[in-house]
């Protein structure tokens, strides 16, 4: 457990161990602690209770809940976090026993997203996810509402619940409409920008694997300005918004690279759904780069989570190149056919560019053209968006050897065929 920051909340993390190995639980608890840290909560203690069943009222055993309550009191803890989704009534019962705020893993993830969301789109998506997570829990509040209604006025609690439910549903509906507009606006802008003629590559992978670092490393070797760099940090969910950059190196065809939100095991379903529009940039990619933190002891499980999440967003049929990152931290020799890189030491980054080029070469048209000087506009258009190996200034026009994206080829087929030589 790391040092406590006086600005942060103090927390205790709790899990039940049912049919899970010690090492699995240890990994889950470490990840939960990291999630809490990303949410500005410092963890001062953790509890794992071995059990055969879940206690319907308090999730863990009631005795254990009281033990934790006294620890909460001794250590001035302000929040207790459970490594599992809790029902509304479990949260309420635990809060009554512990007298502090009780959260579950999903709450923490949603909280990180809401604290970190910067764009309007991300904010809308997070609020929708939070409300959708609240809604079924409100139903569990029915009991409490009825109690509040009291014996004389039965049904008042139920009415209040219905009212709350309806208000939340209306809010979700209006947020979804707003999100749709923001999304359309973004799509129009990006269509104007790239006209689909440049290869689109998206970075995917577990959170903290080094996706943003790879984006920055590629921007460095292609000598882009500093302000184009994206945010990278040793923290879960450092990236919440989509960032797209043109990677234009004179030795390779240019392509658009998109950095996006990372995945985590048991990513709340409402969040995956809400983030659909951000994750659509993954669906629209021609190629995925699956970045793996090869130094992580659970890298295989993390890879599996990424594959599962890609299936959930229906992006699993897009061609994918797997890249093992952070190999500078791996002591043993790695026997693999995958690309092994280190963003930190800038090792083998060219292999990434080679692999992307290889992938697109398969589809690109390799053309020798003679473009007459009267059509200089077309030459510039080609030069701007496609990869030209060399240009000779012939007496009749620009003599070029180029690689042309199929979309560009189809769009300008008549002209290209006229200029073939």
Ligand X SMILES: Nc1nc2c(ncn2[C@@H]2O[C@H](COP(=O)(O)OP(=O)(O)OP(=O)(O)O)[C@@H](O)[C@H]2O)c(=O)[nH]1
Q: Which 227-266 positions form the footprint of ligand X (CB under 6 A)?
A: 232-234, 236-239, 262
- Could you list the residues that contact Mg ion (CB under 5 A)? 211-212, 238-239
Identified binder of ligand X from the candidate list 101, 316, 344, 399, rule CB under 6 A: 344
By beta carbon distance, the residue nearest ligand X is 262
299 contributes a contact to ligand X by CB under 6 A: no
Pick the closer one to Mg ion by CB: 199 or 262.
262
User: How many residues are there in the chain?
Assistant: 421
Q: Could you say which of ligand X, Mg ion, none residue 344 binds, taking C-beta under 5 to 8 angstroms by partner kind?
A: ligand X
Contact 61, 26 (CB under 8 A): no
Pick the closer one to ligand X by CB: 14 or 218.
218
CB of 102 to ligand X, least distance (A): 26
Pick the closer one to ligand X by CB: 200 or 211.
211
212 contributes a contact to ligand X by CB under 6 A: yes
Contact 219, 243 (CB under 8 A): no
Backbone angles phi, psi at 62, to 5 degrees: -65, -40
For residues 214 and 229, give the distance between their C-alpha atoms in angstroms, rounded to a whole number: 10
Backbone angles phi, psi at 3, to 5 degrees: -65, 150
List of long-range contacts for 332-336, beta carbons under 8 Å, 24+ apart: 334/294
For residues 210 and 217, give the distance between their C-alpha atoms in angstroms, rounded to a whole number: 10
Backbone angles phi, psi at 196, to 5 degrees: 60, 25
CB of 208 to ligand X, least distance (A): 5
Pick the closer one to ligand X by CB: 113 or 379.
113
Q: Could you say which of ligand X, Mg ion, none residue 328 binds, taking C-beta under 5 to 8 angstroms by partner kind?
A: ligand X
Identified binder of ligand X from the candidate list 213, 258, 306, 357, rule CB under 6 A: 213
Of 166, 413, 402, 119, whose CA–CA distance to 261 is shortest? 119
207 contributes a contact to ligand X by CB under 6 A: yes
Contact 294, 326 (CB under 8 A): yes
Could you say which DSSP state residue 210 is in? S
Both structure tokens of 330: 């791996």
Helix (H, G, I), strand (E, B) or coil at 394: coil
Contact 149, 156 (CB under 8 A): yes
208 contributes a contact to ligand X by CB under 6 A: yes
Q: With contacts defined by CB under 6 A, how many residues of the chain interact with ligand X?
A: 23
Q: Could you say which of Mg ion, ligand X, none residue 329 binds, taking C-beta under 5 to 8 angstroms by partner kind?
A: ligand X
Identified binder of ligand X from the candidate list 343, 352, 369, 404, rule CB under 6 A: 343
325 contributes a contact to ligand X by CB under 6 A: yes
Both structure tokens of 298: 């659970």
Q: Which 186-205 positions form the footprint of ligand X (CB under 6 A)?
A: 205
305 contributes a contact to ligand X by CB under 6 A: no
Pairing status of strand 79-82 against strand 9-17: parallel
Helix (H, G, I), strand (E, B) or coil at 247: strand
Pick the closer one to Mg ion by CB: 90 or 216.
216
Both structure tokens of 364: 């690109």
Pick the closer one to Mg ion by CB: 198 or 238.
238
Pick the closer one to Mg ion by CB: 35 or 68.
35
CB of 418 to Mg ion, least distance (A): 46
Binding positions for ligand X, rule: CB under 6 A? 205, 207-213, 232-234, 236-239, 262, 325-326, 328-329, 342-344
């Amino acid at each position: 457990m790391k040092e406590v920051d006086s600005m942060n909340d103090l927390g205790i993390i709790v899990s039940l161990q049912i049919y899970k190995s010690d090492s699995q639980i240890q990994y889950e608890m470490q990840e939960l602690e990291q999630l809490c840290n990303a949410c500005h909560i410092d963890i001062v203690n953790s509890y794992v209770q071995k059990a055969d069943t879940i206690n319907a009222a308090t999730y863990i055993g009631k005795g254990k809940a009281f033990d934790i309550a006294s620890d909460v009191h001794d250590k001035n803890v302000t929040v207790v976090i459970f490594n599992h989704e809790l029902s509304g009534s479990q949260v309420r019962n635990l809060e009554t026993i512990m007298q502090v705020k009780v959260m579950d893993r999903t709450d923490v993830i949603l909280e990180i997203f809401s604290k970190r969301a910067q764009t309007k789109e991300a904010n809308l998506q997070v609020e929708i996810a939070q409300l959708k997570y609240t809604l079924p829990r409100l139903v569990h509040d029915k009991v409490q509402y009825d109690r509040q209604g009291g014996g004389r006025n039965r049904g008042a609690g139920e009415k209040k619940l219905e009212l709350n439910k309806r208000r939340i549903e209306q809010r979700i509906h209006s947020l979804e409409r707003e999100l749709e507009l923001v999304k359309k606006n973004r799509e129009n802008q990006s269509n104007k920008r790239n006209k689909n003629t440049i290869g689109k590559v998206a970075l995917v992978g577990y959170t903290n694997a080094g996706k943003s670092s790879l984006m920055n490393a590629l921007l460095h070797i292609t000598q882009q300005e500093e302000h184009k760099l994206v945010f990278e940090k040793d923290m879960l969910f450092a990236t919440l918004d989509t960032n797209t950059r043109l990677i234009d190196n004179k030795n390779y065809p240019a392509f658009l690279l998109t950095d996006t939100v990372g995945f985590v095991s048991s990513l709340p379903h409402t969040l995956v759904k809400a983030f659909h529009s951000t994750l659509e940039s993954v669906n629209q990619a021609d190629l995925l780069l699956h970045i793996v933190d090869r130094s992580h002891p659970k890298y295989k499980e993390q890879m599996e989570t990424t594959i599962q999440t890609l299936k959930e967003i229906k992006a699993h049929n897009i061609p994918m190149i797997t890249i093992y990152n952070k190999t500078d931290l791996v002591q043993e020799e790695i026997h693999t056919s995958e690309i092994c890189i280190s963003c930190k030491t800038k090792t083998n980054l060219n292999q990434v560019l080679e692999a992307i080029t290889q992938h697109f070469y398969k589809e690109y048209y390799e053309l020798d053209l003679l473009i007459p000087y009267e059509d200089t506009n077309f030459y510039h258009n080609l030069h701007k968006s496609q990869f030209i190996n060399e240009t000779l200034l012939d007496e009749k026009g620009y003599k070029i050897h180029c690689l042309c994206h199929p979309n560009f080829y189809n769009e300008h087929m008549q002209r290209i065929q006229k200029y073939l030589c």
